[in-house]
């Protein structure tokens, strides 16, 4: 379980706080989507879970963050990294090795995964992300999207209890993005891994995330079940967060028909609603 209590954080040398009074709880096995405009503090939120804040990025830290009951201030980054895996927004800086194989190996070696288990874990991670054919390649020869998949595979191979991903599909095509989201869903449902996903692709996020948190100006504006959050679509629009088109459709239809329509979060629901209205 991840628990933020009144967390406020200001980066060293900055005047404005990056996060203020964050209260957020993610249960074990949860799938939380985080959305918000650029500069809202989403990445800072992710860094706070991994312990990079306050251990790597220093500054004024108030309140507390607990991962599995351990306070991140008192727990070392190593200790936290055994539980939490993070995929960075800037893939280039996450990748440490010049070769794909070495990149996947890096974390496995560090965490002391038994030698006999390593080849299987590596093959599994590469295959799940769909890049088994890239194992021998050098990172420099890969496209941005392929690099992003390598970064994701290198974290998945570690089998963390909590997976934090900061815009992991930024450089991926729509098909690969959906593939990654499906993979996250699979990990979440079958292995009970808690997923915390920062993402701009609102349509996909709403389809896959069980819960949503809307962040703006360093504050959590709204949080709850995806459907409940989307019910406040106009509020999101005002913040500059786009809503899925199906949600916008259901809102418009509610206005036009004068009767409240259920909030749709995927195509099937929208189709049902329209069919019902047309009669």
Partner 1 sequence: MNNLFQYVPGKSVIHRMNPITKLLITIVICVAAFLSDRLLFLAGLLAVDLLIGVIGGVANRTWQIFRGLLKIAIFLFLLQVLLTRKGTPVFWIITDQGLLTAGKVVLRLVVVCMPLALMLAVTRISDLTNALVQVLHVPYQYAFTLSTAIRFIPQFMEEMSGIMEAQTARGVAFDKARGLKKFSMILPLCAPLLISSVRRTDQTAAAAEVRGFRLRTRQSGYKRYPFTGVDFGAFVFCGALLAAAIIL
The one among 94, 148, 188, 261 contacting partner 1 by CB under 8 A: 94
The one among 6, 23, 98, 257 contacting partner 1 by CB under 8 A: 98
Residue 60 found at the interface with partner 1 (CB under 8 A): no
Smaller CB separation from partner 1, 110 or 225: 110
Residue 67 found at the interface with partner 1 (CB under 8 A): no
> Which residue pairs, CB below 8 angstroms and at least 24 apart, start in 113-119?
none
The one among 10, 20, 44, 50 contacting partner 1 by CB under 8 A: 50
Residue 144 backbone dihedrals phi, psi, to 5 degrees: -55, -45
Binding-residue total with partner 1 (CB under 8 A): 42
215 three-class SS: strand
Residue 88 found at the interface with partner 1 (CB under 8 A): yes
Do residues 100 and 70 lie in contact, with contact meaning Cβ atoms separated by under 8 Å? Answer: no
Q: Strand order of the sheet with strand 2-11?
A: 19-26, 2-11, 59-67, 70-71
Smaller CB separation from partner 1, 35 or 108: 108
Residue 81 found at the interface with partner 1 (CB under 8 A): yes
Query: Any bridge partners for residue 19, and if so which?
Result: 9
Do residues 48 and 7 lie in contact, with contact meaning Cβ atoms separated by under 8 Å? Answer: yes
Question: Please, what is the minimum distance in Å from the beta carbon of residue 85 to partner 1?
Answer: 8
The one among 12, 15, 69, 112 contacting partner 1 by CB under 8 A: 112
Residue 140 found at the interface with partner 1 (CB under 8 A): yes
Distance CA 29, CA 16 (A): 34
Query: ω into residue 54 within 30 of 0, thus cis?
Result: yes
Smaller CB separation from partner 1, 96 or 252: 96
Q: Per-residue x/- mask for partner 1, residues 215 to 254, rule CB under 8 A? A: ----------------------------------------
Distance CA 224, CA 5 (A): 16
The one among 1, 66, 73, 118 contacting partner 1 by CB under 8 A: 118
With contacts defined by CB under 8 A, name the span among 33-41, 86-94, 124-132, 254-262 that binds partner 1. 86-94
Residue 52 found at the interface with partner 1 (CB under 8 A): yes
Smaller CB separation from partner 1, 30 or 85: 85
Task: Please report which residue ranges of the chain form alpha helices under DSSP H.
Answer: 42-50, 52-55, 77-81, 91-94, 100-110, 118-129, 144-156, 174-190, 202-208, 226-230, 233-239, 245-257, 267-278
Smaller CB separation from partner 1, 114 or 258: 114
Residue 278 found at the interface with partner 1 (CB under 8 A): no
Residue 152 found at the interface with partner 1 (CB under 8 A): no
254 three-class SS: helix
Q: Which two tokens stand for residue 64?
A: 């507390």
- With tokens 């351990």, the residue in question is 70
Binding residues (CB under 8 A) for partner 1: these are 50-52, 55-57, 76-78, 80-82, 84-86, 88, 90, 92-99, 102, 105-112, 115, 118, 136, 138, 140, 154-155, 158
């Amino acid at each position: 379980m991840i628990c933020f209590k009144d967390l406020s954080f200001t980066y060293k040398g900055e005047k404005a706080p990056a996060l203020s009074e964050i209260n957020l709880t993610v249960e074990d096995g949860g799938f939380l989507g985080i959305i918000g405009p650029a500069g809202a503090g989403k990445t800072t939120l992710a860094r706070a879970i991994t312990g990079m804040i306050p251990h790597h990025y220093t500054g004024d830290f108030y309140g507390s963050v607990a991962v599995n009951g351990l306070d991140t201030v008192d727990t070392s980054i190593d200790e936290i990294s055994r539980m939490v895996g993070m995929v960075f927004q800037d893939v280039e800086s996450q990748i440490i090795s010049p070769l794909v194989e070495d990149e996947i190996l890096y974390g496995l070696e560090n965490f002391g995964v038994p030698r006999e288990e390593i080849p299987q874990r590596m093959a599994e991670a590469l295959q799940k992300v769909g890049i088994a054919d890239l194992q021998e390649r050098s990172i420099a020869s890969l496209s941005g999207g392929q690099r992003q998949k390598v970064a994701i595979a290198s974290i998945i191979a570690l089998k963390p209890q909590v997976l934090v991903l900061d815009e992991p599909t930024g450089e991926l095509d729509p098909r690969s993005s959906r593939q990654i989201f499906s993979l996250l869903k699979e990990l979440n449902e079958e292995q009970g891994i808690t997923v915390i996903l920062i993402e701009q692709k609102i349509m996909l996020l709403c389809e896959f995330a069980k819960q949503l948190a809307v962040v703006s100006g360093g504050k959590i504006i709204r949080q709850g079940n995806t459907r409940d959050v989307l019910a406040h679509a106009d509020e999101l629009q005002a913040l500059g967060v786009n809503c899925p088109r199906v949600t916008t459709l259901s809102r418009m239809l509610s206005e036009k028909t004068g009767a409240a329509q259920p909030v749709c979060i995927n195509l099937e629901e929208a189709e049902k609603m329209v069919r019902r209205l047309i009669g």
